[in-house]
Structure 1
Amino acid sequence: MKLKNIFLLLFIYILVSISSQQPQQQQQQQNFIELFKPVQLIYPDSNHDRLIINESSINLLNSVLSEDRLSVLGVVGTFHSGKSFLLNQLLGTTDSFTVGPTVHPQTIGIWMWACRIKDDNGKQHNLLLLDTEGFYSSNVSETYDAKIFAITTLLSSHLIYNSVKIIDQSALEYLELLSRRTQLFALKSQIKSNEMNQEILGLNNILNFPSLTWVVQDFFQDIGDETPTQWLNNLLKAHSRDKGVDSSLISITDIFPSIECHTLFLPSGDRNILRHLNKAKSNDLNPIYIKELNELKSTLFKNDNDNGGGGGKSKLTGPSISTLLRLLIEVANGNKFPTVPSIWSGFIKQQQQSALEDSIIAYKDKMSSITNEDSFSKPPLCLKEFEKLESQSNNYATNLYKQLLFGLEEAYKPGQQKLERLLSDNHQYFLKENYFKIQNYCQRIYNEMIESFENQLESIKIPISSKHFNHQTSILKNEIINQYKEITKQYNLNRNQNQNNYFEIFLNSLEKDIERLINGKQLQNRNEIEILLTKSIDMISERYKSYMNQLDLPITLEQLKNEDKKHYNQLLNSKFKQITEVAHEESYYQPFKSMAEKQLHQLFQYFQEINEQKILEKSKFESDQSILDFKKSVSQIILPIEEESLVKSMNEFKIRSINSYKNRLEPFRNSNSYSTQLNKLESSLEKQIELKLNENVTQMKWIVMESLDTVRVMMISRTPIFWFQHSYENEAYREAEKRIIDKIKSKPLRDKVIKQFINNDLKQQLNSLFKLSTILLTLGIILIFSILISFSTIKK
Structure 2
Amino acid sequence: MASEIHMPNPVCLIENRDRKLVVHQEALQLLSGIHQPVVVVAIVGLYRTGKSYLMNKLAGKNSGFPLGSTVQANTKGIWMWCVPYPGRPDQTLVLLDTEGLGDVEKGDSRNDSWIFALAVLLSSTLVYNSIGTIDQHAMDQLHYVTELTERIKSKSSPTENSGALEDSAEYVRFFPTFIWAVRDFSLQLELNGQPCTDDEYLENALKLKKGHSREDQVFNLPRECIRLFFPTRKCFIFDRPTNRKNLHRLEEMEESELEAEFVEQAIQFCRHVYKTSKPKTIPGGHVVNGRLLANLVETYVGTIRSGGVPCMENAVLALAQMENSAAVLEATGRYVELMDQKLKLPTETLQELLGIHAKCEDEALQVFMARAFKDDQQQFQAELMRALAQKKEAYCCQNELESSKRCKALLKRLSKELENRINNAIYSRPGGYQDYCNDLKTVRERYHQESGKGVMAEAEVEQFFKDQEAVGRAILQSDEALTEKEKEAEDARARAEAAEREKEIQRKQQAELEQKLEDQKRSHEASIQHLKEKLEKDRKKLLEEQNKMLESKLREEKALLEAGFLKHAAQLKEEIHQLRKENEDIRKPSWLSRVLEVASVTLPLVLPGLIGKAVGGVTRLIKHL
Query: The TM-score by the shorter chain falls in which range?
Result: 0.3 to 0.5
Give 1 or 2: higher helix fraction.
1
The answer to which structure, 1 or 2, has the higher relative contact order (CA under 8 A, 6+ apart) is: 2
What TM-score results when the alignment is normalised by the length of structure 1?
0.34
Larger radius of gyration between Structure 1 and Structure 2 = 1
